[in-house]
Amino acid sequence: MCGIVGFIGKKQAAPVLLDGLAKLEYRGYDSAGLAIRNGNELAEVVKSQGRLKILAEKTDNGNALVGTCGIGHTRWATHGEPSRTNAHPHVSGNCTGTGSGQVESEVVGVHNGIIENFTELREKLLKHGYTFYSQTDTEVVIKLVDYYYKKYTHDPQEAIAKTMVRVRGSYALCLMFKSYPGEIWVARKDSPMIIGIADGETYVASDVPAILKYSRNVYYIGNLEMAKLTEGTATFYNLDGDQIEKELTEIKWNAESAEKGGYEHFMMKEIHEQPRAVADTIHSVIKDNKIDLSSIGLEEEQIKNISQIYIVACGSAYHTGVVTQYVMEDLAKIPVRVELASEFRYRKPLLDKNGLVIVVSQSGETADTLAALRLAKDKGIKTLAIVNVVGSSIAREADNVFYTLAGPEIAVATTKAYSTQLIAGYILAMQFALVRNEIDEDKLAQLITELRTIPQKIEKILEDKERMQWFAAKQVNAQDVFFIGRGIDYAVCLEGSLKMKEISYVHSEAYAAGELKHGTISLIEDGTLVISVLTQSSLYEKTVSNMVECKSRGAYLMGLTTYGHYGIEDTADFTVYIPKTDEHFAASLSVVPLQLMGYYLSVSRGLDVDKPRNLAKSVTVE
């Protein structure tokens, strides 16, 4: 959560920081702030509650703040309510923390993460004469740095190292010291941070889009490492103070991919980018009509010996895991369990030593998923990550990595990352099935040929998006919506329901259609919208029967099915058709109208599609 940006160079820092924070506002938008150094002058801190535009107006888009070194932050509130007082940056001195102006404090900093033992640390600091103006754990850690800085040798490196040893939790810290005006210090544990170098200037951020237009060459700072940033240089250290050598990584994304490109919202742009993202992901591992997993590192002997697959993920990534479970078990005949990452490690899972743990995360930084990965590795289980961000924590720590090629995804509600994760799941299932002799080369070739048609078929669905816009507008006053389906269709319902509730704030639930009569049907009233997904031929008639049960109790029915199932119009009040495909791949098509439904319903209700309340893009805290 939260967005961090830092800059030190020759140009004015504040406009660069505001520009970077604008690219990170999907990580938090409760409040924002800047701290700017101008040579040896004291740091000037400006903070505001609310969206970043308020801070931009307050500082004349940064032009009112003079200085070439600074740090900035956009907040997703964890400790303490959204307010100007709780906004970052925080300072080590005893001040109100609410206003603007120069601060006498030795340490000024911003933070992403959660300090778990902040109460204990706060009590310790109170005994040493510190006072606190905010409700945040961040103020505690900034003052702890100040405490160690003054107690020992007034050395930033040693003060930060001692703080890192003392703190429990997750953090990305970005700090400036009054006595070191030409430096920014950073430290990291379990929260993402990248450092870019270009043209004698240095950038730091919590995610790639913030610095993409300035630098394509970045360093990834490792866990429990720190770095000193100066103009055009970054020097890395471990906790013992030993210098660490790092290699630069080139980011392949282009800067334009992180812009709206003429669309009203990032979400709609990213919905339309799905054909390209899906095609790129397919082409990355399918060559000459064969699947090539050499870049992932999985060998055939390993695949043959897999006894059990555990797919671990959160949110929409979990939903792609549910689809993959159906496809993998049907094609490859390998038992698959899909686990919520937030529950996985706490229930002390029993893992087969010949199993494979597949973790799925767009950002590669999802805290619960990262913790699940580490648990699997601690138990000696082989791990495979499906991630979208090169060099992310999960990508670096997993034994094998399948990179999806979605490009930067800015909207909080995922669309193209979800679609590329589905593709990764299909391809793994197909190759595992071939290697384990569950399908032959001819069947694989048929599946590959069909898979290649998915991008074009998504484009076909998008050509008729105005029909979904019309229908969503008619549902603008909906209070409760239910999604029903069976098999893969149920997995798609989970995602469709999540899309609706997270951006339109309409209460929605997804149910396996056969479960309706076990209690849920009591919630159906006159006019209740029930959305049924019916793409699996063997389950089609059974789901139609469930629709009839809902209709007899007053439900208004939307049916989503493939072309050819025209009899559905006798039951549904509104029908959406998608192109035919191999039914293993149907989720890639049926999810698109549901994405559009959530989007247009949110727009009709006058909501901010890209920044839904209380949510942030990357959940990097537990």
219/310 same-domain check: no
Other CB atoms within a 10 A radius of the CB of residue 546 amount to 23
pLDDT value of residue 326: 97
407/360 same-domain check: yes
543/427 same-domain check: no
pLDDT value of residue 409: 85
179/32 same-domain check: yes
> Is the CB of residue 514 less than 8 Å from the CB of residue 563?
no
Residues 67-80: pLDDT tens digits?
999 999 887 667 66
Q: 89: which DSSP letter?
A: P
Single out the residue in 219, 250, 281 at which a domain terminates: 250
CATH number for position 215 = 3.60.20.10
543/407 same-domain check: no
**Segments of the chain with pLDDT less than 50:** 97-98, 620-622
pLDDT value of residue 553: 86
pLDDT value of residue 620: 46
pLDDT value of residue 94: 67
445/469 same-domain check: no
265/232 same-domain check: no
Residue 606 CB partners (closer than 8 Å, separation 6+): none
CA distance to 186, 256, 443, per residue, from 143 (Å): 15, 40, 63
- What is the pTM assigned to this prediction? 0.74
> Is the CB of residue 312 less than 8 Å from the CB of residue 357?
yes
Measure the CA–CA gap between 59 and 53, rounded to whole angstroms.
10
Which of 305, 316, 39, 73 shows the shortest CA–CA distance to 181? Answer: 39
129/105 same-domain check: yes
pLDDT value of residue 372: 94
Is residue 2 annotated as a catalytic residue, yes or no? yes
Single out the residue in 250, 269, 293 at which a domain terminates: 250
Q: 43: which DSSP letter?
A: P
569/533 same-domain check: yes
Task: Given the residues 2, 69, 314, 493, select the one marked as catalytic.
Answer: 2
Per the listing, tokens 């250290």 go with 237
- Cα 494 to its chain centre, rounded Å, is 18
Would you say how long the chain is, in residues?
622
Other CB atoms within a 10 A radius of the CB of residue 307 amount to 11
Which of 540, 566, 558 shows the shortest CA–CA distance to 467? Answer: 558
Report which secondary-structure segment, H or E, holds 309: strand 309-313
269/235 same-domain check: no
Sequence letter at residue 304: K
State the total domains in the chain: 3
**Phi/psi of residue 511, each to 5°?**
-135, 145
> Is the CB of residue 223 less than 8 Å from the CB of residue 229?
no
Query: In angstroms, how far apart are the furthest CA atoms of the chain?
Result: 80
- Cα 321 to its chain centre, rounded Å, is 16
Measure the CA–CA gap between 346 and 339, rounded to whole angstroms.
12
Q: What secondary structure does DSSP assign to 100-134, as a single string?
A: -EE---SEEEEEEEEETTHHHHHHHHHHTT----S
> Is the CB of residue 195 less than 8 Å from the CB of residue 202?
yes
CA distance to 274, 361, 366, 387, 501, per residue, from 313 (Å): 21, 7, 9, 11, 19
Measure the CA–CA gap between 456 and 224, rounded to whole angstroms.
45
59/85 same-domain check: yes
Q: Which two tokens stand for residue 7?
A: 């800059």
Measure the CA–CA gap between 15 and 515, rounded to whole angstroms.
55
Percent of the chain with pLDDT over 70: 94
Structural domain that includes position 218? 3-250
Q: Is residue 615 part of a domain?
A: no
Residue 522 CB partners (closer than 8 Å, separation 6+): none
**Phi/psi of residue 25, each to 5°?**
-65, -20
Sequence letter at residue 348: K
> Is the CB of residue 410 less than 8 Å from the CB of residue 420?
no
> Is the CB of residue 102 less than 8 Å from the CB of residue 44?
yes
CA distance to 126, 146, 377, 395, per residue, from 142 (Å): 14, 6, 33, 30
Q: Is residue 67 part of a domain?
A: yes
Single out the residue in 452, 474, 507 at which a domain terminates: 452
